Amino acid sequence: MHIDELDLQGKVALVRVDFNVPLKDGVVGDRNRIIAAVPTIEKLLDSGAKVVLMSHLGRPKGEVKAEFSLSQIVSAVSEELGREVAFVDQCVGQEVKEAIANLKENGVLLLENLRFHAEEEKGDRAFASQLAELGDVYVNDAFGTAHRAHASTAIIADFFKADERAFGYLIQNELEAVARLLQEPQRPFTAIMGGAKISDKILLIENILDKVDRLIIGGGMSYTFFKAKGGDVGNSLVEEDKLQLALDLLNKAEEKGVELHLPQDSIIADNFSNDANTSEADNMQIKSGWMGLDIGSKASREFAEVVESSKTILWNGPMGVFEMSKFAEGTKAMATAIANATENGAFSLIGGGDSAAAIRTFNFDDKVSYISTGGGALLEYLEGKELPGIKAIQS
């Protein structure tokens, strides 16, 4: 069911959002997840519904902990919606039902952290049923948790008829972006994989090899490939038990006719610190006691050329430790190249997590086609896995 087709007038819309936002001293550090939910909430309100929002925050592991209370984000949600948002310090039970009954027409109520109940992460049916009692229709707009079979993301849908449940705009946008990427991509299609470990990305790399024309590998994971090829990588991060896997991936790429680009060089450091001494080195010849923490200037130029000549781009994972200014240039070069390609008509999808953080750090968030809100969920979806939160609405 499409959200635009739901009968909403006079109804209570129970909405699973992803307001798992960073907090420091009770202040929201990054509001992007809240902002992303606004179009869905406004649609429900404009259609005559009362809106009840439910989310998790952090990992309280079934215990009530003040530092994980969603009461801390009420003012931020109110500001982004431009209206007062009510709050109740429970998420099920009579007190919540009374708060909903007292909600004004077109009112918005935020419930307390779902994960204060251990039953949420266990996917408990009785808890899901208690949540379902709170609304007439159910809308899932939390893509970031769609890969979890939790009570509020998957099990709850069983308690609503097919015409009483729908995805919100955020999830619809995520699914459409991935479909555009995987189903009929304009070519050449380039995937950029970064991050620390091959083991984190192996399924994604294997699945994407059947779809892309080019694969760029950077970040910490690249040193496992160079070590597998017989290179000296110094103290760089290496997964010793994945050396054969790295060689197998190189062979698979060749068999499938995929151009695989590894970084020729690195910015190396004698310590994992922004104050470290740095130098530049060929990735087959990094001296002992030094580690690669960013791609080098040759790799940056080569990768940029590949990206800027692409028509479809997927980026998942930074090229280095971009949180440290000394090792941010490679990731910034990648972001710049993606922005340039997008300006020239390419479709670019930025996988959530560190890639999204990097794009925003370098102020390119309005220069790419789509930034996913779901790190783990997007990875699993791109790996070809079925996401419980998606299946629950579609079935």
Which residues are annotated as catalytic?
33, 197, 353, 376
Q: Give the span between the Cα atoms of 228 and 320, in whole angstroms.
A: 20
As a whole number of Å, the CA-based R_g of the chain is 23
Q: Give the span between the Cα atoms of 259 and 158, in whole angstroms.
A: 45
- On whether the CB atoms of residues 353 and 344 are closer than 8 A, the answer is no
Q: How many residues does the chain have?
A: 395
The residues near 347 (Cβ < 8 Å, ≥ 6 apart) are 180, 181, 185, 186, 311, 312, 313, 369, 370
Q: Give the span between the Cα atoms of 42 and 24, in whole angstroms.
A: 28
